[in-house]
Amino acid sequence: MIPVLTITGCDNTGGSGLQLDIRVITGMGCHALTAATCIVMQDVVNFPSRIIRQQIESVVGECHPSAVKVGLVRTPEAVGVIADAIAGIRRIVVAPGIMASNNVQLVDDETVDAIRRRLVPMASLLVLRQVEAEKILDVKIATDQDMVAAAQAFIAMGASYVMIRGGRITEGRVTALLLGSDTKQFFSSYNIDGWKQHGVGGALSTAVATRLGMGDDVPAAVSNAHEFIHSSIVYSVKGDGKLLRPADIYNAFMNQLSNNYHKAHDVAFYAGRLCITPRYLSQITDKIVGKSPKQIIADYLMNEARRYLETTRFTVQEIADKLGFSSQALFCKFFRNQSNTSPTEYRNRQVS
């Protein structure tokens, strides 16, 4: 299996950090290599920089990782030894986790400066939350153009591609931007609560590094990682007690949907993939999220349709083809039934 290295902190709850990264890398079919920078308990205990260096050098020298993700690093000394130790690796995703999900700063300003000077220029992809970009650049991001300007500033520092995520520029949606010399793409999701879950951002950056290790270029890695995280975490649910098995089936359904929405829209197809009846699948989705499988499929298709209409120049016919509709007319009828507007009218409203 392709080796992928993650360098970040340990979260003993398993909800983020090395523990979650291992699950993401192995879940995508690669071999997880690790180097711990700290342990997150009631307080955060930092590892000495020499211990971090020894961990990285041992796995790099023996296993030759195809890609590396650098996450939470809490001292300038640790930043320096990491930058030196991974200098020979071609595919590097830097997602430093400067701010926690509640916007508490996790590292001091001296470390932030070291990240800017040493790690940002090495990044094949730099992944930052909007508040982290604001912190490093000392600017306020309030518009889409502000996001573009911030990403351009990081590219000027040496990063090949930049993803700024977590913006709430459009009401009711969470926004992300991917910018590179050949790419400027906005992503948005209506599932704000899903993307705000603890550990989702770190898991996304790890998934991108994994896809880079598998041979994707950066835009393809981001797209494929986004689909994986969407199905396995963002739209995933946790079950306990009597709901554990239904939650497992629901998550498997969402995974099947993310892989097959472009060719299969009928409930029977997904029930068959799960080896259950459509009626039982309906009972499960109603119990877990209060929706029918048909509505879940429709919601997924609408999210993808809106994304294409908002962020690409594909024609309506091309979007209909990509979403698995047999004709443009059927796609337009579906879209109007779901949103009381046509795809063209929806796109025009985004531009105006």
Instruction: Tell me if 3-234 shares its fold with 240-352.
Output: no
d(CA 212, CA 224): 10
3-234 adopts what CATH topology? UDP-N-acetylmuramoyl-L-alanine:D-glutamate ligase (3.40.1190)
Confidence band of 192 (pLDDT split at 50, 70, 90)? very low
The mean pLDDT value of the chain amounts to: 87
What confidence score (pLDDT) does residue 340 get? 93
d(CA 111, CA 94): 14
**Looking at domain 240-352, what is its CATH homologous superfamily?**
Homeodomain-like (1.10.10.60)
Contact 141, 134 (CB under 8 A): yes
What confidence score (pLDDT) does residue 27 get? 83
Q: Is the pLDDT of residue 239 over 70?
A: no
Residues 6+ apart with CB under 8 A from 160: 123, 124, 125, 180, 181, 218
Q: Which helix (H) or strand (E) holds 245?
A: helix 244-260
d(CA 316, CA 343): 7
d(CA 22, CA 33): 8
d(CA 309, CA 163): 20
Q: Is the pLDDT of residue 240 over 70?
A: no
Question: Where do the structural domains in the chain lie, given as residue ranges?
Answer: 3-234, 240-352
pLDDT tens-digit map of 252-291:
888 788 888 999 999 999 999 888 889 989 988 888 788 8
Amino acid identity of residue 171, one-letter, is E
Q: Give every strand in the sheet of 183-189, ordered side by side.
A: 44-46, 31-40, 3-11, 67-70, 92-94, 125-129, 161-167, 174-180, 183-189
Confidence band of 14 (pLDDT split at 50, 70, 90)? low
Tell me the mean pLDDT in the region 221-241: 66
d(CA 10, CA 20): 9
HEC profile of 78-131: HHHHHHHHCCCCCCEEECCCCECCCCCECCCHHHHHHHHHHHHHHCCEEEEEHH
What confidence score (pLDDT) does residue 274 get? 87
d(CA 316, CA 241): 45
Contact 96, 129 (CB under 8 A): no
Tell me the mean pLDDT in the region 126-150: 91
Q: Is the pLDDT of residue 351 over 90?
A: no
Tell me the mean pLDDT in the region 191-210: 73
Measured from the Cβ of residue 317, the count of other Cβ atoms closer than 10 Å reads: 14
